[in-house]
Amino acid sequence: MTRDHVPDRSGTALLPRTAPHPEGAISPLTKPESAGYDYDVVISGAGLAGSAAAVLLARRGVRVALLERRSDPEAYKLPDKKRLPAFREDLEGSFLEFVRALPEAPPIDSAERVTKIIGTVNYPLHSRKPTAPGVAFVGDAALTGDPLWGVGCGWALQSAQWLAEAIASAATGRGDLDRSLGVYARRHRRRLRGHQYLAADFAKARPFNPLKRLMYSAAARDESVARHMYLFASRLIGPLRFLNPVVLARATAVNIKHRGAAVPLAHLSRTGS
């Protein structure tokens, strides 16, 4: 796996507006003496979240500066822990072997290496307050999820969109910036906090709590609870809708019915009949 640090310190800074302009643009900051430039928003980090936020804000007429500290691409690999001893012994050899064995593997042997390979064990899960005065965090900078659940890219793009929708007007001098940041922070928390809680719970292999046991066992037995579970696991609905009382009541009824049906079988096997 290659990754130099997690989570990164990328984020979005909102600058006081000094002059009106008709159309937004993302400007390459190529000169170190950039004091002459004038931007509404400075984005640090041109990963998925930063790039998406830059594009979406620029489309709304915001003047954006997008800063990136790297000039080379990154790639991640996520082998399971059974391979850890081999990776510890020979990081590069194990990495190459892992990539070669992938279905339709990219031609790793003829590829040009641009950085060293870095291994990370126990990927940390971090949640930050998504805003501070004049600053907003998007993507992994706000919240680093368990890669096994595979939502980091989706959340990076999604949070960029929420930020652009919330702050574009204020960033161009047509609204209150603090209030807009508050709108973004609330949306971010409302939409992602519950999912992150669940993902972290899985990542830490905590035992299922009674609510999870109720929902998972009912989903295995009832098609409509299973469909509901799918909507939540696909992040199409949030935790509040997932745990709505009607579904909880249905899941309880499904499990009680199942238990009722299971008793005669258990009884039969105990009596040996």
Ligand X SMILES: Cc1cc2nc3c(=O)[nH]c(=O)nc-3n(C[C@H](O)[C@H](O)[C@H](O)COP(=O)(O)OP(=O)(O)OC[C@H]3O[C@@H](n4cnc5c(N)ncnc54)[C@H](O)[C@@H]3O)c2cc1C
For the bound state, the minimum distance from the C-beta of residue 189 to ligand X, rounded and expressed in Å, comes to 17
CA distance 191 to 80: 29
Q: Supply the DSSP string of 77-106, one letter for each residue.
A: ----GGGHHHHHH-HHHHHHHHHHTSTT--
CA distance 95 to 87: 7
Residue 25 tokens read as 């643009």
Task: Return the number of the residue (59 or 77) whose C-beta is nearest ligand X.
Answer: 77
Among 56, 58, 151, 177, which residue sits at the site for ligand X (rule: CB under 6 A)? 151
**Stretch binding ligand X (CB under 6 A), from 31-39, 45-53, 172-180, 202-210:** 45-53
Among 24, 41, 50, 183, which residue sits at the site for ligand X (rule: CB under 6 A)? 50
> 235 phi and psi, to 5 degrees?
60, 30
Among 13, 46, 75, 125, which residue sits at the site for ligand X (rule: CB under 6 A)? 46
CA distance 171 to 66: 15
For the bound state, the minimum distance from the C-beta of residue 95 to ligand X, rounded and expressed in Å, comes to 12
Among 8, 97, 165, 201, which residue sits at the site for ligand X (rule: CB under 6 A)? 8
Contact 19, 182 (CB under 8 A): no
Residues within the interface to ligand X (CB under 6 A): 1, 3, 8-10, 44-50, 67-70, 76, 78, 123, 139-141, 147, 150-154, 156
